Structure 1
Amino acid sequence: MMRKQQGLSLIELMISLTLGIVLMTGVVQMFITSRTTFTTQQAVSRIQESGRMAVEFLSQDIRMAGYRGCASRESTQQIEMGIEQDGGYLYDFDTSIRGYSSDDHPMGDVGVADGSEVLVIRRAGNTSMPIVNPTGNNANIEVAVEEEDDCVGEVCRGDTVVISDCTQGRVFQVTNFQNVGGGGSKIVHSQANVDGKPKNLDSKLGGQQFGPGSEVLKMSTLTYYIADSEFGVPGTRSLWREQDGEAAELIEGVENMKVGFGVDTDGDGIPDEYQDYNEVGDDNWGNVQAVRVALLMQSLEENVVDEPQPYRFDGEDVDDERIEDRRMRQVFTSTVGIRGRLD
């Protein structure tokens, strides 16, 4: 006859507790390992994705530096400046590309990260409007686009634009538009002052003539720099781009940026050496044929790696308090040729 169990002995209870602790320890360890693996993989994926996107943003604009429609070969075609040249760095379209330091740039107080660099690119937009009639003696510029809300296409009142064919071009400011009927508009370029921006030197395109099919494109000054993130994780930095004075945060997790400029020193159309922004010289920016960009990417979260991760950036080995946050870091480097200058 079987006896009913009345309870557990102290030894049985201790054995049960020990087995439970062992099992729970295994479960907790598995959870911690799984979480660490997930955090690491997520940091790697985010760094690689953000790095590729940041390089792509920069490459697209660097490649098109100095672009002014089909008259973009700076070595063979003349682009005339039809606006006053004292309007500040946003209107210095004679210089298509230039670099600055974090404490000596023309943007004012925008909080550029210490030790990083600033890259300024000037180029026309991707969307062009062909003119429908010759400019003639009156320098009329007519396009087959109707004015709406003080804009024709992507060109608005006060914008700086370029008109170009495949042999010449001229940069000027749009002062207003006139409706010419049939869904078309006339782009007016008088010497009136628009919102305090640089005025046109004349209203006749300097005597230059352009035939039907010549294109009108908006000119822009694009400035890339590193600054604290406003929308991401506090304490992290981002890649920012200022376009015509309006700043936008592009990519989170960009800790630093260094730029090298490939300069043609012998006039053969090929970059001979890469120089820092302070080595190029004010009169030599027109000989920059390519740009080498290095971006230091960081994980948005701290304590991703088991111990501080030393890294090498811009020729410097970093193994000090800057890595105590135990963030994961990776350097992305890309060399981009300027299409309108390479032979």
Structure 2
Amino acid sequence: MSAQSRGFSLIELMIVLALDAVIIAGVFSVFQSNQSVYRTNDAMARLQENVRISYDYLSREIRMAGSGYSCLSSIDAMYNMLKDATGFDQQFGTIVQGYDNGNSLPTEISTDVKTGTDVLVVRGSYGTGSKLEGTMNNNSAVLRTTVMDPAPFGGSDIVVITDCRTASIFQVTHYTESNGTTVHNTGNSTTPGNATKNFPYAYSAGASVIKVRTTSYYVGTNDDGNSALFVRNTDAGSAETHEIVEGITDMQLEYAVDTNSDGYPDEYKTAAAITAGEWDQVISVRVSLLAESLEDNITDSKTPYQFYQRETDGTLTEITPTDRKIRRSSSFVVAIRGRLQ
């Protein structure tokens, strides 16, 4: 009995400890590998989601540019009755506009845009429209619209009235919900205010009245120091800016110009190459986005990526980063529905 109770020898104990170490190392290696795969898959999923959200916002806005002007292609003239009608937020006659590589930006967004990225500006309607009740007196500061619940607009809202032949932009200075009375007078404290209360002619019953706004999309930096896609909307003469999604580090834009009005793009141009008169000939926009993971050290080494570079005639250029983030580029073309033949 005493011979059977002598225990393990030193060599046997060392062998057991060595085997335990091998097993623990294997388990730790599997854990690290699974953790790395999880981080990579999670980062990839977030990239794809960020790009999808950006696409949803941008494509919807571009597609519906100028939608509030109703039957856009048949309108012969648009009148802007606002003060400072050429101001950035008031240029409703230009439904699509852009700024190239963060250059020549308007003061409203000049300090917010990331250097070297493009800005997309889209103008059109939002909300629920109303109808004109009866032929209006074009020299009056009052018109009557259909009563709706909830009210389609209110005091200080900027709206468009159109009958598919002519459109006029003005600011509501007072609105009565009970009877739809809409006042658009001058000399009020509203911003920007109306330069005149006189319409170019008397719109007939059935003309559409709906709110309009200027919407800007750009890449900026959020409170956490990360690049993100932002949207800036004007509403009732003021502006609000919201972050859409993190991780969008670059946006490059090209505009399809239809020079002969046949409904087909003749060439794609950058915003810097488009003259003032050519913005009315833009029928679609090509958007290129670059997204990156928020966390660093996702990959084992610095991973080169490809992104659209105008300096190389629009070809994809391979770029080697200084970090180990994951990046993905995406490009899509969206047509302006109101300008399709």
Same-fold status (TM-score > 0.5): yes
Q: What is the rounded CA distance, in whole Å, between the counterparts of 1:90 and 1:295 in structure 2?
A: 25
- Counterpart secondary structure, 1:44: helix
Comparing 292-301 and 83-92, the one that deviates more? 83-92
The residue type paired with residue 131 of structure 1 is L
Partner in structure 2 of residue 83 of structure 1:
82
Q: What is the rounded CA distance, in whole Å, between the counterparts of 1:209 and 1:216 in structure 2?
A: 11
Task: Report whether the alignment pairs 1:328 with 2:326.
Answer: yes
Partner in structure 2 of residue 46 of structure 1:
46
Please report how far the alpha carbon of residue 131 of structure 1 lies from its aligned counterpart in structure 2 after TM superposition. 3.1
What TM-score, normalized to structure 2? 0.89
Change (3 A) 1:111 1:330: same
Partner in structure 2 of residue 122 of structure 1:
123
Q: What is the rounded CA distance, in whole Å, between the counterparts of 1:88 and 1:192 in structure 2?
A: 19
- Measured against aligned partners, the alpha-carbon deviations of 1:47-95 in whole angstroms (never above 9, x if no partner) come to 111101101100101111122243322x544332222344610001111
Q: What is the rounded CA distance, in whole Å, between the counterparts of 2:303 and 2:154 in structure 1?
A: 50
The residue type paired with residue 274 of structure 1 is Y
- Counterpart secondary structure, 1:135: coil
- Counterpart secondary structure, 1:162: strand
From 193, 205, 214, the equivalent of 2:188 is 193
The residue type paired with residue 64 of structure 1 is M
RMSD of aligned C-alpha atoms?
2.1
From 207, 230, 244, the equivalent of 1:240 is 230
- Counterpart secondary structure, 1:283: helix
From 304, 324, 328, the equivalent of 1:310 is 304
Partner in structure 1 of residue 8 of structure 2:
8
Give unpaired runs (5+ residues) of structure 2.
310-315
Q: What is the rounded CA distance, in whole Å, between the counterparts of 2:31 and 2:213 in structure 1?
A: 52
Contact 2:75 2:164 in 1 (8 A): no
Q: What is the rounded CA distance, in whole Å, between the counterparts of 1:77 and 1:126 in structure 2?
A: 24
Task: Report whether the alignment pairs 1:258 with 2:257.
Answer: no
The residue type paired with residue 277 of structure 1 is A
The residue type paired with residue 70 of structure 1 is S
- Counterpart secondary structure, 2:324: coil
Q: What is the rounded CA distance, in whole Å, between the counterparts of 2:85 and 2:168 in structure 1?
A: 17
Q: What is the rounded CA distance, in whole Å, between the counterparts of 2:134 and 2:201 in structure 1?
A: 16
Contact 1:134 1:209 in 2 (8 A): yes
Change (3 A) 1:134 1:4: farther
Please report how far the alpha carbon of residue 16 of structure 1 lies from its aligned counterpart in structure 2 after TM superposition. 1.0
What TM-score, normalized to structure 1? 0.89
Please report how far the alpha carbon of residue 282 of structure 1 lies from its aligned counterpart in structure 2 after TM superposition. 1.7
Partner in structure 1 of residue 312 of structure 2:
none
Q: What is the rounded CA distance, in whole Å, between the counterparts of 1:127 and 1:72 in structure 2?
A: 18
From 324, 335, 338, the equivalent of 1:337 is 335
Please report how far the alpha carbon of residue 7 of structure 1 lies from its aligned counterpart in structure 2 after TM superposition. 3.6
Give unpaired runs (5+ residues) of structure 1.
none
Contact 2:228 2:245 in 1 (8 A): yes
- Measured against aligned partners, the alpha-carbon deviations of 1:274-313 in whole angstroms (never above 9, x if no partner) come to 1111111122111111100000011111111121111121
Query: Which runs of structure 2 are paired with 1:147-162 in the superposition (5 Å)?
Result: 152-153=151-152, 155-162=153-160
Q: What is the rounded CA distance, in whole Å, between the counterparts of 1:291 and 1:221 in structure 2?
A: 17
Partner in structure 2 of residue 110 of structure 1:
111
Contact 2:122 2:215 in 1 (8 A): yes
Please report how far the alpha carbon of residue 342 of structure 1 lies from its aligned counterpart in structure 2 after TM superposition. 1.9
